[in-house]
Every structure is written in structure tokens, then in C-alpha cells.
Structure 1
Amino acid sequence: MTRVSNEKKNLNRLAGEFLVASRLTQRGYMVTLQWGTTIGYDILVFDKVGNVAFLEVKSSAQYSRRWILQKKYAEPNAEAIPLDRRFICCVDLAVPQGEPRVYVFPAAVVARGLHYYFSGQFPNSDSYHLSLDFRPQGRTKEDGVQTVGKFIDAERYIDAYSTLGIQPVVA
């Protein structure tokens, strides 16, 4: 396995953030990119009536449908921002053909997927992986066991910006 440089990781991170912001604005949403560590979210999406969605963007350019997430995503109730206002946009830059895919997952769906994969036995690590094509640990050879992607119905979240509960300014 080739090691990815920090510069390449940073470029992939920026590509994912800009891609999500671009797709949102193309659909009429108002967005603001958050730089630095001000609130811990990459993009805020808002509408004229005061609704706000907090988006964390995760990009993967090395493995398709697989992202590295901080362990905090497994326990999303520990945060002050209401759970139904938080989203993880997983950007698949490693798509073999065609455009990158953007999954707009509610934070609770990501947590459910992580718990399913790790069966509640999380590793002693600061980060976990959300791998849509993997089966739960210890159950990979069992018949009828769903992949994480099937379990959380990942395909329904591709470009599912309406999931944010924000009204576009321009429809």
C-alpha cells in the first residue's frame, strides 16, 4: 500500500469540501465554508427562516465507499448541536468511472452504521472507518449478513440534499 502524502490528503479534503459546497449552491442553497477549528464543522447550510444544517465533510480518494471518521461519530448524542441538524457528507473521490459521489448522511445514520460494523466492540483508537461494502466484524462469512451500506440504506443518501431540512433560496 502506498502512503498518501499530507499534501495529497489536504488537497483531497479541500476537493471534497468544495465539491459539496458547489453541489449545494448549484441547487439553490446558501452555504458558508468554515475554516479552521471555529465550530468543528466544514460547511453551514442555512435558509431565510433561520434553519441551519451543520455539515462535516469526509473525503476518500484511495478507497471507494470507505472513510476514516473520528470516534465521536459513533456517539453523536454527546454534542450540544441537536442531532437532527448534524450531517456527515461522505465524498467518494475514488469512483472508478464517472463523477465523485456525495452521500449526505444524518449523523444518527453514521452512528448506526458504525455500531453495526463494530457490533458495539469499538477498537481502542481515535478513529474508525465507515466502510459501506464491509460486513460486520466477526460475521463476514455468515450467509445473509448485510454490508454496512445495505444496513443503513446508503444509496438513498447519494446527493440527498433535501435530507438537510433546509429550504433552497432558489428552487
Structure 2
Amino acid sequence: MRNGDKQSEVTKLKREIIKLLYSNPEIIEILDNEQVDPDCPDTAEWVCIFPYVKLANIQEEVGTFIGVTIDSNGPLENDRFKQLLVTVTAFCPITNMQVKGQKGTRTDILAGDISETLNWNRSLGMFRLKLVNEQEGVMSAQQYYFRTLQFTAIRGNDLKKGQANIH
């Protein structure tokens, strides 16, 4: 039977990024979700912060969400490292875009908080995350707006004790 505690490197990295996001009280506040307890912000995971992109046309509830995806461009010139592309997307329904008492749309404010949390961050045990792209868009018959931030990072190439896992 498969060990339920076993995690891939991608899963570990996503969990670390999600923890950084929900540890920021400003992100929790702007997500504005009644199911998330600000005193216990890890309740945001799987409620409004997901380790995948949650698409508006297949979701069950209307709300503001964050999705995290990770892609790899493969090994660099040195096989011990690979370049990651970490994509964080904030989705918000048009009915919730305005934030009372704040300037800017909810997606822009949330993206700013995400950028402040992740850009140049070194706490993930790798080289710094670096913001390389930011994009805005609309989806689902203009009912949801989104802002996508892409970060690059260099990470070890899944080597065990400096050796490739070749069987």
C-alpha cells in the first residue's frame, strides 16, 4: 500500500508556497471568505487557496480564489539544477471586484500582496523566487477576472544525496 505521507517535490513546494500565502494576514483578509478563520489561516487551504488552478466554470461556489501551479523547464546546463516556473493566479467574480475602503480592484490588491510575499523570497530553501511576468484577464463570459503572477526559481533536480535516482 502506498505511504500516505509520501510527497513529490512539486507537492512539497506547492505546500510551502501555499503556507507562505495563508500566513500573510492581508491575503486572508482580501480573500474575504467566511469559511476561513483569520486566527487559524491554514483553514484557507482547499477552501480558497488551491494547489491547482480552480476554474470558475466548474466550481461550486462564487468567491475569490488563489491557484498555484508549478512547471519546470528541465535541467539547466548543470544537471543538478532545474528552473521552475511558479504561477499564482488570483480569481475574483465581478460582483466582488470592488473592495470598500481600498483603492484598486480585489485582484490587483491580492496580486500586490502575493508579490510582496513571494518576490525575492528565499525561505523555500532554494534560490530566490523572482517575479518575471504579471498578466490580467477575464474569463467565463466576463463573470470572473484574474491576475496571474509568474515567478522563476532554481531548484535542485530531484537528486538524492547528489546522485540521480537511476534504477
Of Structure 1 and Structure 2, which has the larger fraction of its residues in strand? 2
RCO (CA 8 Å, sep 6+): is it higher in 1 or 2?
1
Q: TM-score, normalising length from structure 2?
A: 0.30
Of Structure 1 and Structure 2, which has the larger fraction of its residues in helix? 1
